[in-house]
Structure 1
Amino acid sequence: MDSEFWSKDGDRVILVAGDTWFSVHRDALSHHSSVLAGMFDSLPKSPISVCFPCNPPINSTQFLDIDDSPEDLRYILRALLSHGGSLSDQPCVDEVSALARLGHKYQIHSLLDNVAKFLQDHFCTDFNLWSAHDDLVPTGWKPVHAIGVVNIARLLGCPSILPTALAVCCAVNGTEMVRGYERADGTRETLCTDDIARCADTARRLSQGTSAAICHAFATHKESARDSKCSDPKTCGDEMHRLLCAYADTARDRELFTDRHPFRDWKYYLGTRVDESRICEGCNIMLRDRFVERQRELWDRLPAIVGVMVEG
Structure 2
Amino acid sequence: MKFDLSETAPDGPTVRNPWESAGGAAAGNVTQPPKASSASGVEPKSAQGNQLAPGAPTTPPPNTKDAPDSSLPTISRRHPKFWFEDGNIVVRVDDRIFRVHMSTLKLRSTFFEDIFSEEVRSSAGIIDGCNIIDLEGRSCDFSALLDWLYPGGLSRATEHSKASFFTLACLLRASHQWKFPDAKDWALEELKLRWPPKLEEVPWQPDLTDHATKVIVLLQACGERTLLKRAFYRLLCVDDFGIKSGTENAAEENMTPATLAVKEYNHEPAKWAASDSTLSQDDILRIIRLHKYTTQRWISLTSKTPSYAFLSDRKRHAWRLSCLTILRSMWHAYVTEAQFASQGHFDPLGCLKEIKNVEWEKLGICQACAVDCRDRWEEERRRIWDELDVELGITSPSVGSYRGLDDRPRQPYQLTFNQAAAVYSGGK
TM-score with structure 2 setting the length = 0.56
* Per-residue deviation, residues 30-79 of structure 1 (Å, max 9, x unmatched): 2222323455663649864xxxxxxxxxx323334444333222211111
Alpha carbons of 1:271 and 1:175: their partners in 2 closer, same or farther (altered >3 Å)? closer
Aligned to 2:142: 73
Note if contact 1:150-1:166 (Cα within 8 Å) is conserved in structure 2.
yes
Displacement of 1:269 in angstroms is: 3.7
Tell which deviates more after alignment, 80-89 or 279-288.
80-89
Q: Distance in 2 between matches of 1:31 and 1:227?
A: 72
User: What SS is found at the alignment partner of 2:89?
Assistant: strand
Q: Distance in 2 between matches of 1:232 and 1:169?
A: 49
1:22 paired to 2:98: yes
Aligned to 1:3: 80
User: What SS is found at the alignment partner of 1:171?
Assistant: coil
* Per-residue deviation, residues 192-239 of structure 1 (Å, max 9, x unmatched): 1111111112112113213433457x4215643449956975274454
Larger helix proportion of the pair: 1
User: What SS is found at the alignment partner of 2:347?
Assistant: coil
Q: Distance in 1 between matches of 2:126 and 2:387?
A: 62
1:149 paired to 2:235: no
User: What SS is found at the alignment partner of 2:294?
Assistant: helix
Of 180, 184, 194, which aligns to 1:112? 184
Q: Distance in 2 between matches of 1:172 and 1:231?
A: 49
Note if contact 1:131-1:264 (Cα within 8 Å) is conserved in structure 2.
no
CA-atom RMSD in angstroms: 3.8
Aligned to 1:203: 291
Alpha carbons of 1:153 and 1:123: their partners in 2 closer, same or farther (altered >3 Å)? farther
Q: Distance in 2 between matches of 1:231 and 1:7?
A: 83
Alignment of structure 1 residues 124-143 onto 2, 5 Å:
130-133=198-201, 137=205, 141-143=207-209
Alpha carbons of 1:230 and 1:107: their partners in 2 closer, same or farther (altered >3 Å)? farther
Consecutive unaligned residues of structure 1, counting only runs of 5 or more, are 49-58
Of 96, 102, 109, which aligns to 1:33? 109
* Per-residue deviation, residues 138-179 of structure 1 (Å, max 9, x unmatched): xx8331423333334434444464334322322322152345
Aligned to 2:280: 192
TM-score with structure 1 setting the length = 0.74
User: What SS is found at the alignment partner of 1:264?
Assistant: helix
Tell which deviates more after alignment, 104-113 or 247-256.
247-256
User: What SS is found at the alignment partner of 2:166?
Assistant: helix
Displacement of 1:252 in angstroms is: 3.6
* Per-residue deviation, residues 268-293 of structure 1 (Å, max 9, x unmatched): 24523536533332222122111112
Note if contact 2:145-2:174 (Cα within 8 Å) is conserved in structure 1.
yes
Note if contact 2:327-2:365 (Cα within 8 Å) is conserved in structure 1.
yes
Displacement of 1:253 in angstroms is: 3.8
Alpha carbons of 1:197 and 1:243: their partners in 2 closer, same or farther (altered >3 Å)? same
Aligned to 2:412: none
Displacement of 1:103 in angstroms is: 1.4
The letter for the 2-side match of 1:106 is W
Aligned to 1:309: 395
Note if contact 1:275-1:284 (Cα within 8 Å) is conserved in structure 2.
yes
* Per-residue deviation, residues 236-263 of structure 1 (Å, max 9, x unmatched): 44542343211456474431333x1232
Note if contact 1:239-1:279 (Cα within 8 Å) is conserved in structure 2.
yes
Paired residue total: 293
Q: Distance in 2 between matches of 1:73 and 1:227?
A: 69
Q: Distance in 2 between matches of 1:235 and 1:186?
A: 59
Note if contact 1:144-1:177 (Cα within 8 Å) is conserved in structure 2.
no
Alpha carbons of 1:276 and 1:15: their partners in 2 closer, same or farther (altered >3 Å)? farther
Alignment of structure 1 residues 158-307 onto 2, 5 Å:
158-159=224-225, 161-174=227-240, 176-178=242-244, 182=253, 184-188=270-274, 189=276, 190-214=278-302, 218-220=305-307, 223-226=310-313, 229=316, 234=321, 236-237=323-324, 239-247=326-334, 250=337, 252-258=339-345, 260-264=346-350, 266-269=352-355, 271-274=357-360, 277-307=363-393
Consecutive unaligned residues of structure 2, counting only runs of 5 or more, are 1-77, 255-269, 399-428
User: What SS is found at the alignment partner of 1:5?
Assistant: strand
Larger Rg: 2
Alpha carbons of 1:154 and 1:267: their partners in 2 closer, same or farther (altered >3 Å)? closer
Note if contact 2:343-2:351 (Cα within 8 Å) is conserved in structure 1.
no
Tell which deviates more after alignment, 235-244 or 296-305.
235-244
Alpha carbons of 1:220 and 1:255: their partners in 2 closer, same or farther (altered >3 Å)? same
Note if contact 2:302-2:335 (Cα within 8 Å) is conserved in structure 1.
no
Aligned to 1:53: none
User: What SS is found at the alignment partner of 1:219?
Assistant: coil
Aligned to 1:54: none
